Every structure is written in C-alpha cells, then in structure tokens.
Structure 1
Amino acid sequence: MSYIQNNLQAGEEVRYKADIHWYIFVYPAVLLLLGAFFSSAQAGFLYYIGLILLLAGLLQLVKRILLKIGTEYVVTNKRVVLKSGVLSRDALELVLNKCEGLRISQPVLGRIFGFGSIVVTTGGATNTFRFIADPTKFRNEINAQIQ
C-alpha cells in the first residue's frame, strides 16, 4: 500500500495522482547509446570513453528508476502531498488553504512532450514538484480543491 493511502486523514480522499513523466529516462538512454557506440571500438581511447559512458548511463538509469518508483505527487480534498524516496523517505504535506501561489514551469521540450514543474508557494516557502506529466491538470486540480 502506498504512503498516501496509509496516511489519509478522516474524511480525506485522493482527488488526483500525478505521474512522473517518461522523459526522465531520455538522459540515461542517450548515455547508454553513446556508450554502446563508443565501446564497440575494439581498443583505444574511444573504447574506454564508451565504458565510462555505459557505466554513467547505467547509474543514471538506476537512479531514475528509483525516482519513478519512490515518488508520489497527490492532491487530496485537504492537502497536496509530495513523497519521494525508496529506502529513505522525504514527505512534504501542504494544507490547501495555505497555498498562496501556483506556477507552472515548462521548458520547450516539456511543452512538446507534456511535462513540467509545479512551483507552490506557501507562507514564504517555495516547493517544487518536478517532471510532472500534464502539469496543467495537476495545477487545475489543486485550484479546484482550494475553491
């Protein structure tokens, strides 16, 4: 059972659960492809560069898989919850009536592929939810629960 389901308050229900976008896997895939290409050289400098790129790509892939598995972005009827981590846990819970500002940040590739970040401001603190698939829907759900 998820962290969110285990920590719902009385009368609280999940309204929207955002997903981490698949784009987080592009960087490790590029590293792995470049590593495979360069390590196909039989010997020499390019071979070792390829091995380093393969190792870096593998480490990035594992890191991003753990990010995808261990992250939950949820809007309930009472709060916004961000939980990250597989072995260790970092949980942030924002009470909806304390949310002062919402901002969507999408780079060009984010606009093309449909991902971005939501920046939530509460009492002078700024919290960023990164790599959200369809950030506009996430923002709209937060706004719907605030009203």
Structure 2
Amino acid sequence: MASYIESSLSRDESVQEIFTLHWFAWMPVIIWVVLGLLTFGLTWLIAIYQGLSLKYLEQGLTNKRVILKRGIVSRRTDEIKLRSIETVEIDQGVLGRIFGFGTVKVTGRGISRLDFKNIDDPMRVKREIESVSSPIE
C-alpha cells in the first residue's frame, strides 16, 4: 500500500525526502506500556492510540511542497507549496540538542505553518527544505 505522500503526487512531482521521527518520540508510548504493565485498564488503550498515531504519521518533502499527514482512520493533511515558504525554523531544547531531535517549523504566506515535531536531525531537515528549488509553473 502506497503512503499518502506517494499517492498524492501530481504530475512531474517526486518525493525528495521522508522525515523520520527520532526514537525519543516513542518515549510516551513506552511509558504508557510500562504503566499498563503495572496497572490494568485505560493505559493500554492510550499506549495503543499513541503508538498508532506515530506509526501513521507522515512528514515529507517533494519537489513542489512540504507535507504533514496525521490520522489513523481519518486523515488530516497540511501542506505548503515550496514557493510559499517564508521561513524554516528549528526549536530544539536541551534534550533535543543532546539526543539530536527537535521541531522544524515551516511558515508560509499568511497564517500557514507546519510543525514537524520530534524530527530526527532537524538541521538536516531544515537544509533539505531550503535546498529544494522552487518549481517553475
């Protein structure tokens, strides 16, 4: 089964990069599983929901746009065309600097903004987004 990003490509559009989550993004799931082992009940449902939410999250870059897709059964997508991007910023706390993860904030014209949270190697992601040339239309 093709991913959302691959299945939503337009003519002459290609995937440049799929942004992966850092292993640290899975820590809340691990904590809920441990709590589920210690107690029974709702903690297992929370762990399953959070795990599936991370599994079905897609974040990527094509030669025309940046894409963020969320949802397990339903689907919510946010996209910004490359030619509309105004800024690409990194938000990285102390743990993020130590372990190499952070949030990449892509701001477009108007009020559009995408937050790629818990991204592995946010500096590389920033460089990738900024280095892809805008499409000629």
Pairwise TM-score range, normalised by the shorter structure: 0.7 to 0.9
Aligned to 1:85: 71
Aligned position for 1:133: 120
Residue 85 of structure 2 corresponds to residue 95 of structure 1: no
Match of 1:60 among 22, 46, 61: 46
- Distance in 1 separating the partners of 2:131 and 2:60: 14
CA distance in 1 between counterparts of 2:81 and 2:55 reads: 25
**Which of structures 1 and 2 has the bigger CA Rg?**
1
* CA shift for structure 1 position 146: 3.9
Question: Is the CA contact (8 Å cut-off) linking 2:57 and 2:71 kept in structure 1?
Answer: yes
Cα separation, 2, equivalents of 1:6 and 1:34: 38
Q: 1:31 to 1:68 in 2, by over 3 A?
A: closer
Equivalents in 2 of 1:59, 1:90: separation in Å?
Answer: 22
Q: Label 1:31 to 1:9 Cα distance change in 2 as closer, same or farther (>3 A).
A: closer
Opposite residue 65 of structure 1, the aligned amino acid is G
Q: 1: distance between equivalents of 2:55 and 2:28?
A: 18
Rounded to whole Å, the distance in 2 between the matches of 1:32 and 1:70 is 19
CA contact (8 A) 2:68 2:114 kept: no
The structural deviation recorded for 1:58 is 2.3
SS in 1 for 2:73: coil
Aligned to 1:18: 19
SS of 1:15 mapped into structure 2: strand
Q: Which amino acid aligns with 1:29?
A: I
**TM-fit CA distance, 1:133:** 1.3
**Aligned residues: percent identity?**
35
State the one-letter code of the partner of 1:6.
S
The answer for unaligned runs of 5 or more in structure 2 is: none
Matched letter for residue 93 of structure 2:
P
CA distance in 1, matches of 2:123, 2:13: 23
Query: One-letter code of the match for 1:98?
Result: S
Return the match for 2:93 from 92, 99, 107.
107
Question: Unaligned regions of 5+ residues in structure 1, if any?
Answer: 40-50
Taking structure 2 as the reference length, the TM-score comes to 0.84
Asked if 2 retains the 8 angstrom alpha-carbon contact of 1:32 and 1:58, the reply is: yes
> Deviation of residue 56 (structure 1)?
5.1
Q: Which has the higher helix share?
A: 1
